[in-house]
Amino acid sequence: MASAQQTLSFSSIGPPVTPLLLPQARSPRFRADNSVSSYASVSGNRSRTCQRSSCKPHCPFSSFLRREGEESRGGTRRISTSLSPSGKLRTTISTPLRVQASLKPQLEEAAKQVVDYFVRSGMAVGLGTGLASSMAIRYMGEKLKDGSLREIVGVPMTSMSAVEAAKAGVPLATFQDYPQLDFAFDDADAVQEGTLFAIVGRKGVAGRESILKEKAIAKAAKQMVFIIEESKFVGQLKGAVPVLIEQEDWLDVAEEIDDLFLGDAEVWRRPSHGEAGPMGGDFPLVTAEGHFVLDVIFTTPIANAVEVAQSLEAISGVVTHGLVLDTAYAAAVASSTGVKIRTSLFKSAFTSME
């Protein structure tokens, strides 16, 4: 995969840190419980029931009823299940720190280099969301104040980036006013080497109302760059892929997605706050456009991201997903030893260094 790249080194860089891989989920056998019209998994002498008011013959949430003590890791979340003293299934989800404290200076340097090498006076720039994007926005504001940049217009992808731009003094405009952009930058949850395919929209970024606008602005830019730490620069995409779906008949859509990736992924509806089980609790997240968010957590590396995207898009009720394909021109990768700008041979030559 490395052979399909051009690399510009600002200092040496070590090998990417590969995130932990989800173990293969064990799908239990289900039997009908005639008294409550639901399905239960049997493990030893204990039985656990899928807590749904109306459960279909093939329960889309079978993979969530795992044996006591089984744990998995997917994307930005660690998921563990166990039985409470009363015999109910208990799910615990924790979110680790997204950026190591020791890498923040390098990530800030990557953000500054992206602004220095790509942003020119008079440009319309798509402003991403996340820690690195906030650093880049603040640096743009500094350059506007000292006069090294002029007549810049920022088009924010989220409310978070709009707030950062307002505080930094970066003039703002709407995507409707600037449907074609000169440049855009954004954070990403994972970027694949070679192709620069990426995943955006995982849980944990404040102010990210929806990935619909984020993806649209990224695709509208002539050049798009992700700013990431090296642990997110991976050989194969893996873990959680967010999927936006219509609220109507959402259980049917979740079941179809579960069937599509049976044995390879788990499907969770994202809650609006805190943590919840597979159903998303009593208060599921609703995006600004009125959609639910399903986190499709792949338990194995994604062998073909293009096929996964096409399969999801073919399902009625799916609005969009967090896979960003054939959009990024480059990735600024920060590590403990420096910053590298990685470009793909699928894109045009690296010209912004001239």
d(CA 210, CA 253): 19
Query: Which pairing describes strands 330-335 and 181-186: parallel, antiparallel, or unpaired?
Result: unpaired
Q: Length of the chain, please?
A: 354
d(CA 19, CA 274): 24
Q: Is residue 214 flagged as an active site residue?
A: yes
- Angle of helix 131-146 versus helix 104-118 axis, rounded to 10: 50
Within 13 Å and on the Cβ side, how many CA atoms surround 286?
Answer: 8
Question: Is the Cβ–Cβ distance between 216 and 24 less than 8 Å?
Answer: no
Query: Within 10 Å of residue 192's Cβ, how many Cβ atoms?
Result: 24
Dihedral sign, Cα of residue 249, residue 252, residue 256, residue 257: positive
DSSP readout, 228-263? Answer: EEGGGEESS--EEEEEEE-STTHHHHHHHHHHHTTT
Q: Of 108, 164, 193, 214, which one is the catalytic site residue?
A: 214
Token duo for residue 240: 């959680």
d(CA 319, CA 259): 18
d(CA 155, CA 177): 9
85 exposure class (CB count in 10 Å sphere: 0-12, 13-18, 19+): exposed
Phi and psi at residue 113, to the nearest 5°:
-65, -35
Can you tell me which residue has the tokens 């340097």? 109
DSSP 8-class letter at 149: S
Alpha helices (H) in 96-233, listed in sequence order: 104-118, 131-146, 159-168, 211-220
Write out the catalytic residue numbers: 214
